[in-house]
């Protein structure tokens, strides 16, 4: 807190959390989904735009509208700060532990741009993972389940994202087995 600043209220903290959450989803939908075309919410849908718009409304616009209806009063936020910190910490731990519990047999790896395919393959081998498929761009690889040691190895050797958790389903949902197999049949 800044010198001479006052403690935030519970409502102020909730407002900031909703603003951050809503703005992130607005930026994600507009910049990453539509302007850059990096991914869609549900790539293997006949109507991916409908999924994008639904996601934008539910996770982008609704939280921003909630900011408008929150009351203007609230007590000191010591309890709210602790609760919000606990929720964020628990969410992070849950996301990290997701691969242990979600039963996924495939891990998806996104390597940094400009990496040589041989370097990517060496990273996969060093992680003791077996290759299942590689996308046409060569930067997204699917392998069998990655261990915690393998996860660290992949990140140390150039992986930007390694995941199987439902938490990243919005961004990587198109990597499911059905989507991958339907695309491989089209090539």
We report the CATH number of the domain holding residue 157 as 3.30.70.80
**What is residue 114's predicted lDDT score, i.e. its pLDDT?**
85
- Tally of domains within the chain: 2
Specify the higher pLDDT residue, 81 or 137. Answer: 137
Is 86 domain-assigned? no
3-state secondary structure string, the chain? CCCCCCCCEHHHHHHHHHHHHHHHHHHHHHHHHHHCCCCCCCCCCCCHHHHHHHHHHHHHHHHHHHHHHCCCCCCECHHHHHHHHHHHHHHHHHHHHHHHHCCCCEEEEEECCCCCHHHHHHHHHHCCCCEEEECCCCCEEEEECCCHHHHHHHHHCCEEEEECCHHHHHHHHHHCHHHHHHHHHHC
Residues 62 and 123 in one domain: no
Specify the higher pLDDT residue, 125 or 66. Answer: 125
Specify the higher pLDDT residue, 187 or 79. Answer: 79
Residues 179 and 112 in one domain: yes
* pLDDT > 90: percent of the chain: 13
Residues 105 and 157 in one domain: yes
Residues 168 and 114 in one domain: yes
Residues 118 and 56 in one domain: no
Residues 15 and 63 in one domain: yes
Average pLDDT over residues 40-69: 84
**What is residue 71's predicted lDDT score, i.e. its pLDDT?**
75
Q: Is residue 128 over pLDDT 90?
A: yes
Domain region containing 29? 10-76
């Amino acid at each position: 807190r800044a010198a001479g600043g006052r403690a935030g209220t519970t409502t102020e903290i909730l407002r900031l959390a909703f603003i951050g959450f809503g703005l992130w989803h607005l930026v994600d939908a507009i910049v990453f989904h539509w302007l850059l075309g990096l991914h869609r919410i549900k790539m293997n849908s006949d109507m991916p735009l409908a999924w994008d718009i639904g996601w934008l409304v539910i996770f982008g616009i609704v939280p921003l509208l909630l900011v408008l209806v929150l009351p203007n009063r609230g007590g000191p936020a010591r309890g709210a700060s602790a609760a919000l910190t606990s929720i964020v910490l628990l969410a992070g731990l849950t996301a990290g532990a997701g691969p242990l519990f979600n039963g996924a047999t495939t891990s998806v790896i996104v390597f940094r741009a400009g990496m040589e395919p041989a370097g990517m393959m060496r990273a996969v081998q060093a992680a003791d993972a077996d290759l299942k498929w590689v996308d046409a761009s060569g930067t997204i690889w699917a392998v069998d389940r990655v261990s915690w040691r393998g996860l660290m190895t992949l990140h140390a050797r150039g992986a930007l994202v390694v995941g199987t958790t439902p938490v990243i389903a919005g961004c990587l949902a198109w990597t499911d087995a059905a989507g991958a197999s339907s695309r491989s049949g089209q090539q």
